[in-house]
């Protein structure tokens, strides 16, 4: 094929692909324009996940009638004049590509008026071509409606995610900008139902209650707007909120960072937040944080990527230190405060009352078998007259069901170490068994067998419980409602972002339904593998993890023996559903070698 110059139509659609990747991209660009126009009220209305219709209205400054058509030309902008202005960007938008790119792949209409004009201007554009212009009556501000997105680019339309996924992404966009601009009143409506509203009070705390939920906000500590301790960088200020150490998630997705009012993705700054929790959080757990970072515009380069989510910093190290120290200082101050909101297992986080901690943990879980007295149960039970135990072959798989084949040798309990590991012996040597991982494996296989028989057991509550979720998590729950029903949950919508939990899997009868559901949503947010089966397996794995015996729980000999006898007949007894080992095995030869009894 010979070299030739692409037509303007093809060029505009290629450029649109850089800026407009999905409906959430349209919302992002138009909301940024509204904020740059000084709007104090922004309303976002979505139909069909944004593919059918996106309507964004604001009360900003509007566009003069003689500049409306110009605004839809590529690289037309009022936000910079020369290349030197790129080093001092103080607006969210600046490239002048968004409106042209959106108009080239949709049917778009705009109604706008500035305060000085008596009539507004309305344009209708289809595929980048102007269809109609007329004067209309309109309030000051701008209303943009985008319909049939990607109607002329079917390949891009084909690769869009499911409707609920797009709704969740749009909710994330709107809530993030509501956090960054708490003085602006945001309203998000999806398919005629309001899912988010901020007050516009100017207080970040008010937005966080609406965006993250009251339960999450109550477990967050304020990061005071302070200066970097390095004398040379007193122009870096960090403020916001971060969660107390006992309130955490399985991924970094809940670390939300803003630079000069712009949401960014920066793995190093997210790591700085995580590092501030060093020794406060276990490995693999991450805090929830919303941080506002202010620094001189010339210190950050936002002209890196078309979406403007990735930026570069002139002094990355100073910024890392400022973020880490600001969060760490708030956590240390919290630990030294007598009255604290954060609690660990019912006790204030940082409490030094060890006796109360021990008393709390001695009764933390309730098994079906009666617990014996803690501390001496193992030693005394070994020397009591033994009760005749059931032979392993006497353990049925279920009523009238045949026994499953044995996958481990017969093991005998010796004792328990640290209320976490079971010591057992067998013909092949010594076994050290992780009680939590082993119980997870047992529950997982039992659950999957019941599920395969289409007989998952549910536990109905005497009184239904309600849970209120942030908009993005609400969309995620709605998207997976059917999958949750398959494994024993009975959940139904009950108002905006509110759900009623009527039943949970029987395994979770003694667990808090809200805690379980929050943990499941956290796992799903971390990114399940594609495919319904993988998502369902991920949920089942979380259910079993929540229901399993925890590390730190003291077990009687009978309880330990019962657990081991069930593990002996699991199909995969060596690992838990997450892939962690359930046991360590040391053969008789290894033991003899360690004690110098060989050769």
Same domain, 182 and 222: no
> Rounded to whole angstroms, how far apart are CA atoms 36 and 38?
5
Q: In what order do the strands lie in the sheet with 185-190?
A: 129-136, 120-126, 107-113, 141-147, 53-58, 41-47, 185-190, 193-197
Least confident piece of the model among 139-143, 366-370, 558-562, 563-567: 366-370
- Phi then psi dihedrals of residue 50, to 5 deg: 95, -15
Q: Would you give the DSSP letter of residue 253?
A: G
Question: Are 162 and 220 in the same domain?
Answer: no
Q: Are residues 64 and 141 in the same domain?
A: yes
As a whole number, mean pLDDT of residues 291-311 equals 78
Is the pLDDT confidence value at 390 over 80?
Answer: no
Domain's final residue, options 291, 324, 344: 344
Give the range with max mean pLDDT: 76-85, 273-282, 415-424, 442-451: 415-424
Strand order in the sheet with 458-468: 458-468, 498-505, 490-493
- Mean pLDDT in residue range 306-318: 77
Q: What does the pLDDT read at residue 372? A: 37
- The DSSP code for 121 is E
In a domain, residue 108? The reply is yes
Q: Which pair of tokens denotes residue 385?
A: 């007259």
| Confidence (pLDDT) at 307 | 60
Query: pLDDT tens, 50-101?
Result: 999 999 999 999 999 998 998 888 777 766 656 666 666 767 876 677 888 8
Of 419, 441, 420, nearest to 567 by C-alpha is 441
Tell whether the model's pLDDT for residue 397 goes beyond 50: no
The count of other CB atoms within 10 Å of the CB of residue 290 is 26
Confidence check: pLDDT of 110 > 90? yes
Which position has the higher pLDDT, 85 or 546? 546
Task: Indicate whether 384 and 442 sit together in one domain.
Answer: yes
Angle 204-212/163-180 helices, nearest 10 degrees? 160
Residue 290 has a pLDDT of 95
* Residues 434 and 551 occupy one common structural domain: yes
Q: What is the mean pLDDT of residues 347-352?
A: 43
Alpha-carbon gap, residue 87 to 104, rounded angstroms: 29
- Structural domain ending residue among the three candidates 323, 344, 365: 344
Q: Average pLDDT of 434-438?
A: 91
How many Cα atoms are found within 13 Å in the side-chain-facing hemisphere of 519? 18
Helix (H, G, I), strand (E, B) or coil at 307: coil
The verdict on 289 and 170 lying in the same domain is no
Name the range with the highest mean pLDDT among 9-13, 78-82, 283-287: 283-287
* Judgement on whether residues 150 and 232 belong to the same structural domain of the protein: no
Per-residue pLDDT, 402: 59
In the predicted structure, residue 594 carries a pLDDT above the cut 60 = yes
Q: Is residue 272 part of a domain?
A: yes
Least confident of 130-134, 145-149, 217-221, 593-597: 593-597
Cα–Cα distance for residue pair 152/144, rounded to 1 Å: 19
Domain contains 590: yes
Please report whether residue 1 resides in a domain: no
DSSP letters, 413-455, are: EEEEETTTEEEEEETTEEEEEEHHHHHHHHHHHHHHHHHHTT-
pLDDT in tens, 192-234: 889 999 999 999 999 999 888 888 899 899 998 654 444 445 6
Compute the average pLDDT of residues 316-338: 83
370 falls within a domain: no
Last residue of a domain, one of 197, 224, 252: 197
Helix H or strand E segment including 53: strand 53-58
Q: Is the dihedral of CA 231, 232, 238, 243 positive or negative?
A: negative
Q: Which two tokens stand for residue 452?
A: 């395969």
Confidence at 124, pLDDT banded by 50, 70, 90:
very high
pLDDT greater at residue 239 or residue 470: 239
Q: Which residue has the higher pLDDT, 409 or 95?
A: 409
- Predicted confidence band at 383 (pLDDT cuts at 50, 70, 90)? very low
Residue that wins the pLDDT comparison between 326 and 404: 326
Phi-psi region at 442: left, alpha or beta (left = phi > 0; alpha = psi -120 to 50): alpha
Give 491's strand partners.
Answer: 501
Instruction: Tell whether 188 and 242 lie within a shared domain.
Output: no
Domain that residue 563 falls in: 375-599
381 and 526 share one domain: yes
Rounded mean pLDDT of 381-397?
36
* Two tokens, residue 376: 């001496």
Interstrand relation of 220-227 and 193-197 (parallel, antiparallel or unpaired) = unpaired
Q: Is a pLDDT exceeding 80 seen at residue 343?
A: no
Distance in angstroms (rounded) separating the CA atoms of residues 306 and 304: 7
Same domain, 581 and 486: yes
Q: What is the mean pLDDT of residues 3-16?
A: 56
- Cβ-defined contacts of 93-98 (< 8 Å, 24+): 93/29, 93/32, 93/33, 93/36, 94/302, 94/303, 95/303, 95/306, 97/15, 97/18, 97/19, 97/306, 98/19, 98/20, 98/29, 98/30, 98/32, 98/33
Window from 106-115, 183-192, 438-447, 512-521 with minimum mean pLDDT: 512-521
Classify burial at 25, counting beta carbons within 10 Å of its beta carbon; exposed 0-12, middle 13-18, buried 19 or more: buried
The answer as to whether 356 is a domain residue is: no
Stretch 250-275: mean pLDDT: 88
| Overall number of domains in the chain | 3
402 and 519 part of one domain: yes
Strand pairing category for 185-190 and 41-47: parallel
Query: 186 and 143, same structural domain?
Result: yes
Query: CA angle, corner 163, sides to 53 and 265, nearest 5?
Result: 95
2 — pLDDT class (breaks 50, 70, 90) = low
Do 122 and 155 contact (CB within 8 A), yes or no? Answer: no
Scan for tokens 């007050």, then name that residue.
Answer: 199
571 falls within a domain: yes
> Percent of the chain scored above 90 by pLDDT?
28
CATH code of 566's domain: 3.30.1540.20
Domain annotation covers residue 203 = no
Give the model's pLDDT for residue 134: 93
Mapped onto helix, strand or coil, the DSSP state of residue 545 is helix
Q: Which residue has the higher pLDDT, 594 or 432?
A: 432
């Amino acid at each position: 094929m010979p070299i030739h110059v692409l037509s303007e139509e093809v060029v505009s659609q290629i450029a649109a692909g850089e800026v407009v990747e999905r409906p959430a991209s349209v919302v992002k660009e138009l909301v940024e324009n509204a904020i740059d126009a000084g709007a104090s009220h922004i309303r976002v209305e979505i139909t069909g996940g944004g593919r059918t219709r996106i309507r964004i209205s604001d009360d900003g400054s509007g566009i003069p009638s003689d500049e409306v058509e110009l605004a839809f030309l590529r690289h037309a902008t009022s936000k910079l004049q020369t290349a030197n202005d790129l080093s001092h960007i103080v607006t969210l938008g600046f490239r002048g590509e968004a409106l042209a790119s959106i108009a080239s792949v949709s049917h778009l209409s705009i109604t706008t008026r500035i305060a000085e004009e008596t009539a507004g201007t309305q344009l209708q554009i289809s595929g980048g071509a102007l269809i109609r212009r007329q004067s209309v009556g309109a309030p000051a501000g701008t209303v943009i409606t985008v319909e049939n997105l990607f109607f002329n680019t079917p390949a891009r339309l084909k690769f869009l995610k499911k409707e609920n996924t797009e709704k969740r992404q749009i909710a994330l966009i709107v809530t993030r900008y509501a956090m960054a601009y708490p003085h602006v009143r945001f309203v998000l409506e999806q398919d005629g139902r309001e899912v988010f509203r901020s007050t516009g009070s100017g207080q970040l705390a008010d937005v966080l209650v609406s965006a993250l939920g009251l339960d999450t906000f109550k477990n967050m500590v304020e990061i005071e707007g302070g200066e970097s301790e390095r004398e040379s960088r007193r122009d870096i200020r960090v403020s916001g909120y971060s969660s107390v150490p006992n309130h955490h998630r399985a991924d970094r997705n809940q670390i939300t960072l803003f630079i000069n009012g712009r949401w960014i993705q920066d793995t190093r700054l997210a790591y700085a937040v995580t590092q501030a929790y060093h020794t406060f959080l276990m490995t693999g757990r991450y805090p929830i944080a919303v941080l506002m970072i202010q620094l001189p515009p010339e210190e950050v380069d936002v002209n890196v990527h078309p979406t403007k989510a990735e930026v570069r910093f002139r002094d990355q190290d100073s910024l890392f230190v400022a973020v880490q120290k600001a969060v760490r200082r708030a956590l240390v101050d919290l630990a030294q405060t007598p009255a604290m909101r954060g609690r660990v297992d019912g006790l204030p986080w940082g409490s030094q009352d060890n006796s109360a901690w021990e008393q709390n943990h001695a009764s933390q879980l309730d098994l079906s078998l009666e617990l014996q007295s803690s501390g001496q149960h193992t030693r005394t039970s070994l020397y009591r007259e033994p009760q005749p135990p059931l032979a392993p072959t006497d353990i049925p798989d279920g009523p009238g069901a045949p026994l499953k084949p044995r996958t481990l040798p017969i093991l005998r309990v010796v004792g328990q170490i640290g209320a976490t590991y079971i010591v057992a012996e067998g013909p092949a040597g010594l076994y050290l068994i992780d009680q939590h991982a082993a119980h997870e494996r047992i529950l997982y296989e039992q659950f999957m067998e019941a599920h395969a028989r289409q007989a998952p057991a549910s536990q109905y509550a005497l009184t239904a419980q309600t849970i209120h979720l942030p908009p993005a998590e609400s969309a995620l729950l709605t998207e997976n409602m059917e999958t949750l029903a398959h494994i024993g949950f009975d959940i139904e919508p009950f108002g905006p972002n509110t759900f009623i939990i009527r039943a949970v899997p029987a395994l979770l009868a003694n667990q808090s339904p809200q805690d379980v559901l929050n943990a499941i949503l956290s796992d799903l947010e971390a990114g399940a593998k594609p495919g319904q089966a993988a998502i369902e397996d991920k949920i089942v794995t979380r259910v079993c993890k929540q229901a399993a015996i925890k590390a730190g729980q003291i077990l009687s000999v009978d309880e330990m023996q019962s657990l081991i006898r069930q593990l002996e007949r699991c199909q995969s007894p060596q690992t838990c559903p997450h892939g962690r080992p359930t046991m360590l095995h040391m053969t008789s030869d290894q033991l003899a070698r360690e004690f110098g009894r060989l050769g």
